[in-house]
């Protein structure tokens, strides 16, 4: 039996060209191209920065998000049928290659780009920054600063919402994966700051406030600001957000328990991992 995760170059290039066409529709190249590399842990809410940049560029910026390319895999339906929610493991190589190919092609044409990432490592953002810089891009690193407790509960909410729509494709983010990013993001940000490969570095909150650079943080490095927000004192708004998220998570779980009748072993296993919030 052939492996549906395997794809040939002809199929990949066909999907790539269609993707390029769709992404560039109603967009135009820039004489002074700009690129935003986006970072933040799973569940941080990186679409917040999508909205900020869409307004800033008046819609003329192309968002490159690897997760959205998984469904473009030539054999996606077969992978979904065979592996269900675990199909994500079998589309990773395709999605990663698609991101690289899209960045390569669109940067040649000088489109404004927003490339989504996590800052789990520094290798990928360094590589991307070097490529774009060599092609005349003005580079910004934009990071979303969200307390780990808030971002992880957001991954749980996302799973519950996906499970209610289609339990076979709902994808749970393991706590270890989430915490691994959180553990490394501050030092990786410090490394990238010292590497000086970006024209500017910006830190945003979920409410779209830019907290770096800011005059109130003039004496702090961007890594120190990030560390302060992630692991420092909680604000009233953060407490209220956590309480609201917990209530919403409970509501979603009740709906899904009724729907599944607790017959899904995967859902039971997931439920055991979220007891601290209930």
Catalytic annotation, residues: 67
User: Rounded to the nearest 10 degrees, what angle do helices 88-108 and 123-134 cross at?
Assistant: 20
CA dist 104 and 128 (Å) reads 9
In degrees, to the nearest 5, what angle opens at C-alpha 67 toward C-alphas 192 and 53? 55
CA dist 41 and 118 (Å) reads 5
In degrees, to the nearest 5, what angle opens at C-alpha 166 toward C-alphas 158 and 80? 105
Beta bridge partners of residue 113, listed in sequence order:
35, 62
Q: Is 132 exposed, middle or buried (0-12, 13-18, 19+ CB in 10 A)?
A: buried
Count Cβ atoms below 10 Å from residue 23 Cβ, excluding itself. 16
CA dist 66 and 178 (Å) reads 17
């Amino acid at each position: 039996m052939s492996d549906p995760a395997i794809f040939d170059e002809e199929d990949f290039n066909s999907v790539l060209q269609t993707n390029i066409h769709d992404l560039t529709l109603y967009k135009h190249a820039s004489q002074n191209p700009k690129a935003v590399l986006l970072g933040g842990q799973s569940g941080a809410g990186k679409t917040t920065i999508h909205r900020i940049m869409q307004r800033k560029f008046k819609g003329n910026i192309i968002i490159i998000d690897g997760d959205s390319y998984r469904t473009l895999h030539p054999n996606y339906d077969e992978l979904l049928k065979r592996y269900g929610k675990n199909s994500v493991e079998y589309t990773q190589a395709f999605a990663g290659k698609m991101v690289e190919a899209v960045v390569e092609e669109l940067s040649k044409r000088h489109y404004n780009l927003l490339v989504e990432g996590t800052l789990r490592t520094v290798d990928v953002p360094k590589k991307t920054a070097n490529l774009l810089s060599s092609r005349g891009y003005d580079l910004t690193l934009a990071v979303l600063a969200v307390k780990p407790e808030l971002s992880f509960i957001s991954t749980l909410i996302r799973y519950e919402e996906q499970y209610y729509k289609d339990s076979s494709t709902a994808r749970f983010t393991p706590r270890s994966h989430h915490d691994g990013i959180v553990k490394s993001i501050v030092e990786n940000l410090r490394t990238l700051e010292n590497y000086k490969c970006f024209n500017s570095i910006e830190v945003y909150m979920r409410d779209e406030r830019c907290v770096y650079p800011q005059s109130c943080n003039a004496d702090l490095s961007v890594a120190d600001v990030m560390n302060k927000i992630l692991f420092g004192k909680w604000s009233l708004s953060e407490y209220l957000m956590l309480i609201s998220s917990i209530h919403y998570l409970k509501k979603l779980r009740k709906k899904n328990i009724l729907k599944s009748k607790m017959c899904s072993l995967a859902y039971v296993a997931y439920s055991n991992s979220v007891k601290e919030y209930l």
